Amino acid sequence: MTQHLSLQRMGQIVAAGATPDEELHLRECPQCHAEAEHLRSALTSFREGLMTHAETYRAPSQLPVARSVRPLWPAWMAVATAAMVLIAAPVYRSVREHGRAQQALADARLLDQVDREISEGVPSAMQPLEQLVSWDSSSQKGDVR
What pLDDT is recorded for position 67?
57
Q: Is there a contact between 5 and 32 (Cβ–Cβ < 8 Å)? A: yes
Distance between CA 76 and CA 86 in Å, rounded?
Answer: 15
At 11 the pLDDT is 78
Q: State the angle between helix axes of 7-16 and 20-28 in degrees (0 to 180), rounded to the nearest 10.
A: 110
pLDDT digits (tens, 9 = 90+) for 71-110: 666 777 888 888 888 888 888 888 899 999 999 999 999 9
Instruction: Give the pLDDT score at 48.
Output: 81
Residue 108 is predicted with a pLDDT of 94
Q: Walk along the chain (145 residues) in steps of 10 and give the mean pLDDT of each run.
A: 76 80 86 85 81 69 55 74 82 88 94 82 72 63 50
